[in-house]
Amino acid sequence: MPDSDRIAVVTGASSGIGEATARGLRAAGFFVVLGARREDRLMAVARELGGRGLPLDVRDLASIDAFTAAIAAEYGQVEILINNAGLAAGLQPLAQGNDDDWVQMMETNVLGLLRVTRAMLPLLRRAPRAHIVNLGSVAGFEVYPGGVGYTASKHAVRAITKTLRLELMGEPIRVTEIEPGMVETEFSLVRFKGDREKASNVYQGMQPLTGADIADCIVWVVTRPPHVNVDEMVVRPIAQATVRDVARKS
Ligand code: NDP
Ligand code: 8X3
């Protein structure tokens, strides 16, 4: 039984920003329902927070349906949806673009977010008030060489968020996009397919944000009075002025 009727669903809660957001929302009094593919890690977080972990692969419609059906049966409604599951894969120029990487990014960051949102909308509409928070990125309005698949997917997240804001206008459902700059999570390790040296070089000589920094912003956004909609929030480390301009100490 949830100890709060304020249900918050976080996708991609097995690490990084999603895990930190689950912690933040729990501390703010929500009952958290967490989804991701790595069940061992997901369940450990859910257990620790006294929440519910459910397997979820946002690339798989059947998995999204099972995730949604379990939430509908157990809780009946959802107040907060954090669409966080996502990744970058590779950093090659378009000419050398890897098909599998492009498909994975589009299916996860774009189709996954669309499908999870569509599945969850009936549950969000059952709550007295609700809030959808999409994890975009500064890559949703800036670009960089090698980033074409990822930046295209995050530009799409921006379009989706703005469209939802229009389509849900008049309903008690807030829509927000969080657009982080560099956050040290497993993001770069995933992008470079487990190459720890390449991943740590990304943050060499500068202090990146942490997952907890972004969670802090998300918790702030969802705890504003119900009539206040923060449409978007851009958050970068102080050392990063644009996606390509980063001050590093040697
Ligand atoms: P992490 O790699 O630490 O976390 C990504 C999360 O997404 C994991 O929990 C992973 O879980 C989940 N995920 C990936 N694919 C799927 C899938 N098919 N189905 C379900 N869950 C999935 O990275 P971050 O925490 O940094 O990334 C979170 C979000 O923040 C992403 O959308 C990312 O694009 C965005 N972002 C990150 C920035 C950064 O610099 N780190 C900056 C701007 C935005 P599992 O593998 O267990 O399924
Ligand atoms: C992640 C930020 O700069 O790697 O969304 O694209 S970046």
Q: How far is the CA of 84 from the centre of ligand 1 (A)?
A: 6
Count Cβ atoms below 10 Å from residue 170 Cβ, excluding itself. 6
Q: Is the CB of 85 under 6 A from ligand 1?
A: yes
Q: Is the CB of 71 under 6 A from ligand 1?
A: no
User: What pLDDT is attached to residue 4?
Assistant: 87
User: What pLDDT is attached to residue 242?
Assistant: 98
Q: Which residue has the CA at smallest separation from atom 38 of ligand 1?
A: 183
Q: How far is the CA of 49 from the centre of ligand 2 (A)?
A: 29
The residue whose CB lies within 8 Å of the most ligand 1 atoms, and thus the one to mutate among 58, 87, 104, 182, is 87
Q: How confident is the model at residue 32 (pLDDT cuts 50, 70, 90)?
A: very high
| Active-site residue identified among 75, 144, 150, 203 | 150
* pLDDT over 90 at 225, yes or no: yes
User: What pLDDT is attached to residue 2?
Assistant: 87
The CATH number of the domain covering residues in 7-235: 3.40.50.720
User: What pLDDT is attached to residue 1?
Assistant: 78
Give the ligand with the smallest distance to the CA of 242.
2
- Total residues belonging to the chain: 250
Ligand 2: nearest atom to the Cα of 202 = 4
Q: Is the CB of 243 under 6 A from ligand 2?
A: yes
Q: What is the mean pLDDT of residues 184-188?
A: 98
Q: How confident is the model at residue 21 (pLDDT cuts 50, 70, 90)?
A: very high
Q: Is the dihedral of CA 234, 182, 32, 159 positive or negative?
A: positive
Q: How far is the CA of 87 from the centre of ligand 1 (A)?
A: 5
User: To the nearest whole percent, how much of the chain has pLDDT over 90?
Assistant: 98
Q: Is the CB of 147 under 6 A from ligand 2?
A: yes
Q: What is the mean pLDDT of residues 132-137?
A: 99
Tokens of 20: 């930190």
- Amino acid, single-letter form, for residue 106: M
Q: How far is the CA of 83 from the centre of ligand 1 (A)?
A: 10
Q: Is 75 tagged catalytic?
A: no
Q: How far is the CA of 8 from the centre of ligand 2 (A)?
A: 25
Q: Is the CB of 90 under 6 A from ligand 2?
A: no
Ligand 1: nearest atom to the Cα of 183 = 40
pTM of the full structure: 0.98
Q: Indicate the burial class of 58 (C-beta count within 10 angstroms; 0-12, 13-18, 19 or more).
A: buried
Better-scored residue on pLDDT, 239 or 1: 239
Q: Which of 231, 233, 220 is nearest to 161 (CA)?
A: 231
User: What pLDDT is attached to residue 14?
Assistant: 98
Residue found under tokens 């949830």 = 2
Contact indicator for 112, 58 with CB cutoff of 8 Å: yes
* pLDDT over 90 at 9, yes or no: yes
Mean pLDDT of the chain: 98
Residue found under tokens 């958290």 = 32
Q: What is the mean pLDDT of residues 107-126?
A: 99
Q: Is the CB of 18 under 6 A from ligand 1?
A: yes
Q: How confident is the model at residue 43 (pLDDT cuts 50, 70, 90)?
A: very high
Vertex 209: Cα angle to 208 and 214 (nearest 5): 160
* pLDDT over 90 at 3, yes or no: no
CA atoms of 21 and 18, how far apart (whole Å): 5
Contact indicator for 139, 154 with CB cutoff of 8 Å: yes
User: What pLDDT is attached to residue 11?
Assistant: 99
